[in-house]
Amino acid sequence: MSATPSPTPQAPSPRVATARGAGLLVCEACSAVQHPLHGHDASHTACWRCNAPLHWRHPASVARTWALLIAALILYIPANVLPVMETGSLFGAQRDTIFSGVVFLWNDGSWPLAIVIFVASIGIPLSKLVALTFLLVSVQRGSTWRPLFRAQVYRLIEAVGRWSMVDIFVAALLVKLVQFRALATVQVAPGAIAFGAVVVLTMLATSSFDPRMIWDPVEKRSD
């Protein structure tokens, strides 16, 4: 009777070498790699090449991102509830929110434009807020769950933020709403200001979040 073969031991996963693990700092302005000055903390070190401040991680990244994110969440409500524009003509006045403008375009037969405005003005900002909240909570909990996926989520948020050109979509909505209205006047309402603030705050929150914090618990677990 043959003996049961013993299972082959699995080799431990190789540890990934990082600049922080080697005691090196990378300048985010010029990409120069350097050691911190002897006797100085990284937060008080400047780059030898461009004199930009150096740090292991963005100072107060989580607190700053939470502050910007909460402000954006608060303003997201009036941005969608308050009217974004007030149109007046010889036939009367009309106050339109983002959603009512989408409904108007859909009922008017311009459903492609309605879908674009709905996705860009309602869907994308809400998705960014939810995704940033997810990343912040996972970092604060020290989660090691699928760090690559979370890093990809952050890169997607960062890429979408570059295309947050609100004026194009608002201008398209204005043109369609006042089309064929004689002597029509258009005024920006408080909802548009709140919506613009949401876009700016989410972009600032994304830039203040340090994605390197996603990998810190993974490195500690591999030690």
Q: What are the boundaries of each domain within the chain?
A: 25-54, 61-222
For the stretch 88-106, pLDDT in tens is: 666 667 788 888 888 888 9
CA distances for 161 relative to 75, 187, 198, angstroms: 17, 26, 11
pLDDT of the residue at 13: 47
d(CA 108, CA 187): 22
For the stretch 124-169, pLDDT in tens is: 889 999 999 999 999 999 999 999 999 999 999 998 876 665 555 6
pLDDT mean over 69-98: 85
d(CA 223, CA 219): 7
CATH fold for the domain made of 61-222: Butyryl-CoA Dehydrogenase, subunit A; domain 3 (1.20.140)
Residues 213 and 139: beta-carbon distance below 8 Å:
yes
> How high does pLDDT run on average in the chain?
81
pLDDT of the residue at 139: 96
Residues 204 and 71: beta-carbon distance below 8 Å:
no
Residue 211 pLDDT exceeds 90: yes
